[in-house]
Amino acid sequence: MQQFELFVVAIIFWGGTFAFLLYLLLRMVGIEKQLKVVESQAEGDL
**Contact pick of 12, 22, 43, 46 for other proteins (by CB under 8 A):** 12
Q: Which helix (H) or strand (E) holds 41?
A: helix 16-45
d(CA 45, CA 19): 39
Asked if 35 interacts with other proteins (CB under 8 A), we say yes
Asked if 22 interacts with other proteins (CB under 8 A), we say no
Interface ranges with other proteins (CB under 8 A): 1-3, 5-6, 8-10, 12-13, 16-17, 20-21, 24-25, 27-28, 31-32, 34-35, 38-39, 41-42, 45
